[in-house]
Chains A and B, each alone.
Chain A
Amino acid sequence: MAAPDGATDRTGMPTLLETLSTDLAAAAETAGRATVAVHARRRIPASGILWRPALVVATHHTVHKDDDVRITLDGGATARATVVGRDPGTDLVVLRLDGETGTPATVAREPLRVGQLGLALGRPGDAVTAALGVVSAVGPAWRTWHGGEIDQFVRLDVSVYDGFSGGPLADAAGRVLGVNTSALARAAAVTIPAATVDRVVDQLLAGGRVRRGYLGIGTQPVRLPDAVQAQLGGQQTALMLVALEPGAPAEQGGLLLGDVLVALGARPTLDVDDVLAALGGDTVGQQVDARILRAGELRTVPVTIGDAPARR
């Protein structure tokens, strides 16, 4: 067994464990410089990242106001910021600092891998906090339950503490890999990868919001009668319209409550994900054929896809 006085005392050289410790602390310090506190909700502030000069990225669900948002920068300096735009779909919000630029993060844009070690940093007050995590699962591009498009699914194995949302996942070199949020999945923490953040920031700077196709419907999955299943090549489920937004594209196009939506264009609508997938930002203004089951008969109703109104 090793001597209790340890290697440091004998040789003056740090042990590997100490080197690992120092490296992690250095990574936390590096990425922590670009990690800010965002005071835009009651009680404990949330975190944000200086993504570009004077631009802070944070999470939509933790920023409850748009103007005169107080930001605590590294070192304790305070700045004011204004919301440039929000994308509830990806849970991202962009704020612009008034009269400050800060030190933006060094962002790494390569896809994440399972097993990658990372630090989840936050600033729920004046000081940076850290939690050690591992990328526990990755997957292809996915769509959030609010319809946001995210370039890679990244689930973290990490303890979620105050200030987690809006903070960075940093690698061992202190580079920022993405923005952490607890609001996009029920049980687990998720990282929004840097590529998605870049895209959303660009869209928000250009237009204040992310365009997304919109019909104005609320749906409920239903099982189709056997005869209809046979007509549709075996499709078992579809979506009954249980809500229609007044004046929205679906109502304008003539869809009625109780209609069962079986397809949008060429895409069968087995559940709500299929609808969201058919309503990308580039579909706004296009006409799509809504294939519906009404009074036991299949028919086609053309609908012009609208632009989703801003959601708060």
Chain B
Amino acid sequence: MSLAALTTSPALAHDLAAATERLRASTVAVLVGAPHGRARATGPIAGHGSGVVWRADGLVVTNAHVARADHVALVLPDGRQVAARLVARDPRRDLALLQADVDGLTPAPVGDPGALRPGQVVLAFGHPLGVANALAVGIVHGVGTERGSARGSWARAGASLIRADVRLLPGNSGGPLAEATGRVVGINTMVVGGLGVAVSVREVEALVAAAGPLPRSTRSAA
């Protein structure tokens, strides 16, 4: 099918909506300093970002620079606001793990970042600038940290990164970057020279493995 036929097809809009729905079901808002965050029970919201549901039992991944407190609040896909506590934080990878006292969440389907190729369509989802459930569409710009384009913070991280030609805004941090199937390949982390930069889900898996058995929520541990 030609590109023209593709882009005018109602089926394409349907596919985008389906992939977006997949992402919405597994993306949370992370509120730092919100009323449910016990550290500052009565303070104003000091910051917000996005997070990705990693396990049904309430394990959520976000950026270390989003999870700046030991206790934060999450807005779940169904609108509920719940408390969560910081269980792991890795500033080098700019990743953090949060645990909420909930169960029955929808974990994000995870794709294969190693198979990404420049030009592939990617979807960024999250709550940029306080707008809930916002989608941005772009393409893969490049993968890895190859010489010549690895500069500053990218090189410093040494982590496996995905660079995307997609418009990320504050509040996208910690949210999912997904391939066209809706499978998550990265955690949106920063904008460098206009490029959206996401930390590969391989790094999330490494962090989860390194964190070992995490303190479970009281309900799921019972």
Query: Measuring CB to CB, which residues of chain A are less than 8 angstroms from any residue of chain B?
Result: 1-8, 15-29, 32, 37, 44-45, 117, 119, 121, 124-132, 159-163, 172
Whether B127 is near chain A, meaning CB under 8 Å from some CB there, is no
**Contact partner, A17, options B121, B148, B151, Cβ 8 Å:** B121
Q: Which residue of A lies closest to B118 (CB)?
A: A130
- Name B31-86 residues within 8 Å CB distance of A: none
Whether B170 is near chain A, meaning CB under 8 Å from some CB there, is no
Contact: A159 with B148, CB < 8 Å?
no
Contact: B181 with A18, CB < 8 Å?
yes
Contact: B15 with A16, CB < 8 Å?
yes
Least Cβ–Cβ distance between B37 and chain A, in angstroms: 29
Q: Categorize the interface residue count of chain B.
A: 35 or more
**Contact partner, B139, options A4, A7, A24, Cβ 8 Å:** A24
Least Cβ–Cβ distance between B195 and chain A, in angstroms: 6
Contact: A22 with B120, CB < 8 Å?
yes
Least Cβ–Cβ distance between B28 and chain A, in angstroms: 16
Least Cβ–Cβ distance between B191 and chain A, in angstroms: 11
CA distance A184 to B25 in the complex (A): 46
7 examples of A-B residue contacts, CB within 8 angstroms: A2-B17, A5-B22, A17-B16, A21-B121, A129-B142, A130-B118, A162-B193
Q: Which residue of A lies closest to B119 (CB)?
A: A28
**Contact partner, A16, options B11, B22, B106, B150, Cβ 8 Å:** B11
Contact: A6 with B182, CB < 8 Å?
yes
Q: Which residue of A lies closest to B165 (CB)?
A: A131
Whether B14 is near chain A, meaning CB under 8 Å from some CB there, is yes
Given A15-B15, A24-B121: A1 and B6 interface contact (C-beta under 8 Å): no
Q: Which residue of A lies closest to B148 (CB)?
A: A125
**Contact partner, B12, options A20, A27, A32, Cβ 8 Å:** A20
Contact: A20 with B138, CB < 8 Å?
no
Contact: A24 with B119, CB < 8 Å?
yes
B residues near A45, Cβ cutoff 8 Å: 148
B residues near A126, Cβ cutoff 8 Å: 146-148
Whether B19 is near chain A, meaning CB under 8 Å from some CB there, is yes
Contact: A130 with B180, CB < 8 Å?
no
CA distance A45 to B149 in the complex (A): 9
**Contact partner, A130, options B1, B12, B165, Cβ 8 Å:** B165
Whether B7 is near chain A, meaning CB under 8 Å from some CB there, is yes
Contact: A131 with B141, CB < 8 Å?
yes
Whether B91 is near chain A, meaning CB under 8 Å from some CB there, is no
CA distance A1 to B182 in the complex (A): 15
Whether B222 is near chain A, meaning CB under 8 Å from some CB there, is no
Least Cβ–Cβ distance between A301 and chain B, in angstroms: 51
Least Cβ–Cβ distance between A95 and chain B, in angstroms: 18
Q: Which residue of B lies closest to A29 (CB)?
A: B117
Q: Which residue of A lies closest to B142 (CB)?
A: A129
**Contact partner, B148, options A4, A25, A37, A132, Cβ 8 Å:** A37
Contact: A21 with B120, CB < 8 Å?
yes
Given A125-B149, A130-B165, A162-B149: A16 and B12 interface contact (C-beta under 8 Å): yes
Whether B9 is near chain A, meaning CB under 8 Å from some CB there, is yes
